[in-house]
Amino acid sequence: MTPAKITAAASGTWTLGDLPVNRLGLGAMRLTGNGTAFHFGTPSDRDRALGVLRTAVELGVNHIDTAAFYFSALRSANELINTALAPYADDLVIAVKVGPFRDWTGEWGTSARPEDLRGHVEENLRQLGRDHLDLVYLRRMRQDSIAEHFGALAELRQAGLIRHLGVSEIEPRHLAEAQAIAPVVSVQNRYALGRFDPQGEELLRLCGEFGIAFVPYYAIAGDAGAEGATARHDDAVREIAEAHGVGPAQVRLAWTLAQGPHVLAIPGTGNPDHLVENVAAGALRLSEGELARLEEAHRKVAG
């Protein structure tokens, strides 16, 4: 008998505002290119990228993270999502980020002004073929205050273009600033095993207290970041992976999800085999001893 495939439901669920999602989702950044990140390297194989998206949904992934600025020379993540998945399933939640932007050549522009954000939201709507966006993150671009930018998005939420709001790349004080303007359902910051950051730990804690989702990016990559999944795994990660008969990336994802029921994972991949492995990580349960060992490895960089 062929064993049943593990689906994203094994990771558990969380509700983003009023939108339930499985805690293991998909980041769309790596769908567009075969280089080290979405804006480098050669364009991805179109059929393969479309297949990854369709397989993800078949495996129960109902939370996809994307952005209009995720594109390579010939590929747009939003266009791929639209082509592969529209008309969209009722339970599919698509989150986008606004704030950063790139021109038609791919070059990065300066941070968007508050008055630019409506245009950025509308561009995502056009590319995705939707009349509203489920979740929009304001990605902070080193501004000291996010109040004006977040306020502009709050107005678009009131106008019905956005259902829920999130914030990204913030410090704890920015969360409080945003919450004073409109409800925040999710925080998306860089956070990974072995990359200890006191502010990240504080945001993780605060989100748990407030019932806000905490969504790490580069959770697999660690210090490698946009360069891709790291091969520099700690001994603890490699040994625990071997004990479970899984890959180190799956251990990293399982550790991420073990940080709290409010923690979601959005590993990005354009590889169908990696997609299946990432989804299966949602079913991996680490023992208390294994989690303690990984926590020690995580915090040793702060010593």
Looking at 70, 137, 191, 218, which residue is catalytic? 70
pLDDT tens by residue, 160-185: 999 999 999 999 999 999 999 999 99
According to the model, what pLDDT value does residue 300 have? 79
Distance CA 133, CA 141 (A): 21
According to the model, what pLDDT value does residue 261 have? 98
According to the model, what pLDDT value does residue 2 have? 42
Within a 10 A sphere around the Cβ of 2, how many other Cβ atoms? 4
Q: Is residue 216 over pLDDT 70?
A: yes
Give, as one character, the DSSP assignment of residue 14: E
Q: Which residue has the higher pLDDT, 300 or 4?
A: 300
Q: Is residue 231 over pLDDT 60?
A: no
Number of H helices, E strands in the chain: 10, 9
Residues with Cβ within 8 Å of residue 198, at least 6 apart in sequence: 302
Q: Is residue 214 over pLDDT 90?
A: yes
The encoded tokens of residue 79 equal 């266009």
How open is the CA angle 67-69-75, to the nearest 5 degrees? 95
**pLDDT tier, 35 (very low <50, low <70, confident <90, very high otherwise):** low
According to the model, what pLDDT value does residue 24 have? 98
Backbone angles phi, psi at 129, to 5 degrees: 70, 40
Q: Which residue has the higher pLDDT, 112 or 275?
A: 275
Distance CA 198, CA 153 (A): 28
Q: Is residue 252 over pLDDT 80?
A: yes
pLDDT tens by residue, 147-163: 999 999 999 999 999 99
According to the model, what pLDDT value does residue 40 have? 55
pTM > 0.75: yes or no: yes
Whether 70 is catalytic: yes
- Please name each of the domains of the chain with its CATH number: 13-232+260-285 (3.20.20.100)
The encoded tokens of residue 7 equal 């689906």
Across all residues in the chain, what is the average pLDDT? 92
End-to-end CA distance of the chain: 50
**pLDDT tier, 301 (very low <50, low <70, confident <90, very high otherwise):** low
Q: Is residue 3 over pLDDT 70?
A: no
According to the model, what pLDDT value does residue 41 have? 60
DSSP 99-146: S--B-TTS-B-PPPPGGGHHHHHHHHHHHHT-SSEEEEEEE--S-S--
Distance CA 301, CA 83 (A): 43
The conformational region for residue 218 under phi > 0 = left, psi -120 to 50 = alpha, else beta, is: left
Place of tokens 């266009």: 79
Q: Is residue 103 over pLDDT 60?
A: yes
Three-state DSSP class for residue 63: strand
pLDDT tens by residue, 68-100: 999 998 999 999 999 999 999 999 999 999 999
According to the model, what pLDDT value does residue 190 have? 95
